[in-house]
Chain A
């Protein structure tokens, strides 16, 4: 058995697990065990795939044994395997967190029988999108993860979630239809949807045709990745979902879009980087996003806006179309998946401990729960780009690549990146000062004791009663915080992998030759 035969497993295992978990709906314990086993196995397999892809080059499987290039290929090169490992780790941590929450709530809020299968389908969809070797399989991967995300987004069907879910579903559907149009046009123009074959055939097309195809694909993926001006749907819809769901969405879904942008830009359209267009998009994403975050007085919404804003950094790295820029973008994706997920998990803990995520209601959490203070402070500073955290290293790598590009627009982006970093620090410091540092309202000091403060003139439902934090929710959050810190420790090797992945992407030949060893037909 070679490492290549493991490639389909990150997709197959969670899907199988989803089926088994659905069948075991009545037995909550067995269902939990199945989910944890399936996702733990995915993490281990992803680690093996990364090691072998890094040492032996891209691993390719043609599903069903069809002769190439007729069948459907799954490809794990360095970029895919790295994304797979990070996403599987984060998914597992969030699953453990949601188990803790489910147990603590007595499964009152989460109808467990559909939560676990849907969650597993989501992770299978993410893995399929990362591994897809052709455009249509990428589309299927997107659809699988989106369909699962629709269900998770509207879990329990409260009015607020239906309202937010409507926007989310309609926007995602339209982007899927755009993607389908793009695939139809690509097929009409080239007669194939295999990425490796396309990389050869697209170059022969007239410039105008290939530009239209590129812009269609970029628009599609920009909606999924929430690149300005296609980002308005995200801060509206994400904060209403349950905390673990928001965390996994924030970490993974937009990054799948970023991954697809990186893949198509480097593999399919290397001669037309559209640097200026993407740079302006990146700058506006960063600035508009972070100004939105500064204006928020609700932690989850503030985090959603920083999520949008930091997508700009990754687009910046892609727009440079240099090896250093791509390496920086890849490192930043890894950092951002981990940190953004951690922060949303912490926001869930804050909501539980403080009874709210509104900065107008919270206060004194650092005194009330020092461990929550540490759990928020470390990833918050990491996101703000304070040395020696990975946020600083990733931003430094991108800014260096920007300066090395030596163009006026790149310098403008470097300045924009620094301003965004400072404003991120301002936004998280504001949240820290208001929620953790100032004097506490009475009910936060005594968990589950006094009545909620909700006064008569406050609209909306009264805040939930604050309760103590269950260890089963704190432990996975702490684990992810540690992973975030460990990213700084292993930053050298990680940048090494990102660098080699970027070199592969720029050369294109490792990918194309391993998918089609007989040459491009």
Chain B
């Protein structure tokens, strides 16, 4: 099988740019990165379908010159799925902006609490007696 070099290069550039954006902290940029990666993967899928050919319709194209329609059907499914999830992520980014005024991915609050707890435990006079009032207070996950 010969692969189309232009498509392979396009796919790799899209994925590379997407990975760079996904490493950002703002959810909107992450989202754009995901869209780029998914487009790159979809193009890679087209490459996997082999060389381009005529429309795969009996009577229109000779069987030997038909393009492979199966990967195209799969790419269409993947595009639809990505579209739906993209809309959902946009809604989440908007909700995050509504709540916090930005859409940056935040640190895990419980993780920070555990770290504070470890520090407080090491300093506490009553390390072993389980008196919780001596410990650093734990923020609740939710009421």
Contact = CB atoms under 8 A, between A and B. Distances in A.
Interface of A: 136, 140, 143, 147, 150-151, 154, 157-163, 165-167, 169-170, 173-174, 176-177, 180-181, 183-185, 187-188, 193, 236, 239-240, 295-298, 300-301, 356-358, 360-361, 434, 438, 457-464
Contact of B92 (A162, A184, A240): A162
Given A177-B41, A181-B44, A438-B130, A170 B30 contact: yes
A169 B100 contact: no
Contacts of A358: 138, 140
A181 B95 contact: no
Most buried by B among A167, A184, A187, A358: A184
20 contacts: A136-B74, A140-B77, A147-B85, A163-B96, A169-B89, A173-B89, A174-B37, A177-B37, A183-B74, A184-B41, A184-B47, A185-B44, A187-B49, A239-B141, A297-B114, A298-B141, A301-B110, A434-B130, A438-B130, A459-B139
A459 B96 CA distance: 21
A154 to B, nearest CB: 7
Contact of B114 (A183, A296, A361, A460): A296
Given A173-B85, A184-B48, A188-B1, A166 B141 contact: no
B46 to A, nearest CB: 9
A462 B103 CA distance: 26
Nearest to A462: B143
Contacts of B109: 160, 163
B85 A169 contact: yes
Interface string B15-26: 000000010000
Contacts of B105: 163, 166-167, 170
Contacts of A162: 92, 95-96, 99
B74 A160 contact: no
Contacts of A177: 34, 37-38, 41
B132 interface: yes
A159 B22 CA distance: 22
Interface string B114-134: 100110000000000010100
Contacts of B59: none
B30 A187 contact: no
Given A184-B41, A463-B143, A457 B137 contact: yes
B140 A169 contact: no
Interface string B25-47: 00100100010011001101101
Majority DSSP secondary structure for residues of A touching B: helix
Given A184-B41, A184-B71, A297-B117, A461 B143 contact: yes
Interface size class of B (residues with CB under 8 A): 35 or more
Interface of B: 1, 22, 27, 30, 34, 37-38, 41-42, 44-45, 47-49, 70-71, 74, 77-78, 81, 84-85, 88-89, 92, 95-96, 99-100, 105-106, 108-111, 114, 117-118, 130, 132, 135, 137-143
A493 B19 CA distance: 49
A180 B78 CA distance: 8
B41 A181 contact: yes
A409 B92 CA distance: 45
A463 B137 CA distance: 13
Nearest to A355: B143
The 5 closest A-B pairs by CB, nearest first: A188-B48, A460-B139, A184-B45, A461-B143, A184-B48
B71 A300 contact: no
Contact of A160 (B45, B49, B132, B141): B141
Contacts of B114: 295-297
Contacts of A160: 109, 141-142
A162 B130 CA distance: 34
A191 to B, nearest CB: 8
A159 B143 CA distance: 12
Given A298-B138, A358-B138, A434-B130, A464 B143 contact: yes
Contact of B48 (A185, A434, A457): A185
A154 B92 contact: yes
Most buried by B among A157, A300, A438: A157
Given A147-B84, A147-B88, 12 more contacts: A150-B88, A166-B96, A166-B106, A170-B22, A173-B85, A174-B34, A184-B48, A187-B74, A239-B141, A296-B114, A462-B143, A464-B143
Most buried by B among A162, A169, A187, A188: A162
Contacts of A150: 85, 88
A360 B114 CA distance: 12
B27 A458 contact: no
